[in-house]
Structure 1
Amino acid sequence: MDFSGVIYQFPKEIKFLIIAFVCTLSIGFYSGISFVKSTTNANPTGIEQRYLGNEEDESATKMMFKKSEGEIMTTVHSHILSLSVVFFLIAIILSTTEINQKLKLFLMVEPFISLVLTFGGIYFLWKEIHWMKYIIMISGFLMTMSYTISIFIIFKQVLVSKKLAFI
């Protein structure tokens, strides 16, 4: 069954619902990204210190301690569960858009791969596998880019008639 381009045929009420949902979801998503930036300084050292602490760094302006196993497991568990639902819902909406099939498949699947790499990486970083901080950073960036591109496509195709579409 081909859903490509069906988004143009949705009634105005459904399009409005999609816009409201994606806007609200994006506020939550990007506020989470903002929180990550403020707690890690968006760099590998900050990521490492966030989960492993910085007690031995005498130049630290804010003392941080290694997260407990319970804190790590709660973070990994809750983020994988909640973000997988977020990405699933965005993928369902994206499936109704009219874009290149390979790009669509990539945007629908990539966030799930990055989700496992990011939060699995946090767990392995906590287990003292220090190079995982780079995997966390790269996969987190890819996850955010995939989400951003997906919502841009969804907004564009919900708000523009099919006659004007070019993606």
Structure 2
Amino acid sequence: MQLNGLIFTLPKEIKLLIGVFVIVLSIGFYTGLLFVGETSSANPNGIEEHYLGNEDDENAEVMRFKKSDQEMLTLVHNHILSMSIIFFLVGLIVSITQLNKKLKLFLIVEPFISVILTFGGLYMLWVGMLWMKYIVMFSGILMTLTFTASILIILKQLLVKK
């Protein structure tokens, strides 16, 4: 079965379903990024402070405490499971777009690597590997860029008539 470009042959109802799904999913994804920006200052030191606390910093505007075992396990568990489902569904849709094979493979596989690096990295940061904050930041940015590229490609190809 030829998947490359199959998106162009889908019935209007399926295209509409995919389009609405991708838009609503994007609203949820980018709202999550706004939350990250609000809670961790979206920089490596802010990430470290959010998970490890800042009790020793007398100049801190907001007092933060180290996350508990339960909080970290819940966060890692929930994000890895939910984002795996999100990227599986987006990957399925990307698989039927018309793209260069290597680019398509990258857009399908990379988000799963970034999910492990981002949320595994948060856990490793929490247990004391402070340099992981840079991996978390980089993988989070790469995951967001990959998601954005995938969504834009999907939406563009849904609107093209062939």
What is residue 37 of structure 1 aligned with on the other side?
37
2:102 aligns with 102
Match status 1:141 vs 2:153:
no
Structure 2: 5+ residue stretches without partners? none
Equivalent residues in 2 for 1:94-133, closer than 5 Å:
94-133=94-133
**1:6-17 maps to which residues of 2 (within 5 A)?**
6-17=6-17
Q: CA deviation at 1:2?
A: 2.4
1:152 alignment partner AA:
L
Find the residue that maps to 2:92 and give its secondary structure. helix
1:82 and 1:105 mapped to 2: Cα distance? 21
| In 2, Cα distance between equivalents of 1:2 and 1:112 | 24
Please report the TM-score for the alignment, with normalisation by the length of structure 1. Answer: 0.96
> How do 1:72-87 residues align onto structure 2 when only pairs under 5 Å count?
72-87=72-87
CA-CA distance at 1:10 after TM superposition: 0.4
**Partner of 1:25 in structure 2?**
25
Aligned residues: 162
Percent of residue pairs bearing the same amino acid type: 60
Which consecutive segments of 4 or more residues in structure 1 shift more than 3 A? Answer: none
Query: In the alignment, what sits opposite 2:63?
Result: 63
What CA deviation, in whole Å up to 9, does each residue of 1:28-87 have, x standing for no partner? 100001100111111001000010001111111000000001000000000000000000
Q: Which runs of 5+ in 1 are unaligned?
A: 163-167
Mapped to 2, the partners of 1:28 and 1:154 lie a distance apart of 17
Distance in 1 separating the partners of 2:100 and 2:57: 49
Q: What CA distance in whole angstroms lies between the structure 2 residues aligned with 1:161 and 1:51?
A: 48
Partner residue, 1:151: 151
Q: Residue 165 of structure 1 corresponds to which residue in structure 2?
A: none
Q: Which amino acid aligns with 1:91?
A: G
Alpha-carbon distance in 1 for matches of 2:72, 2:91: 28
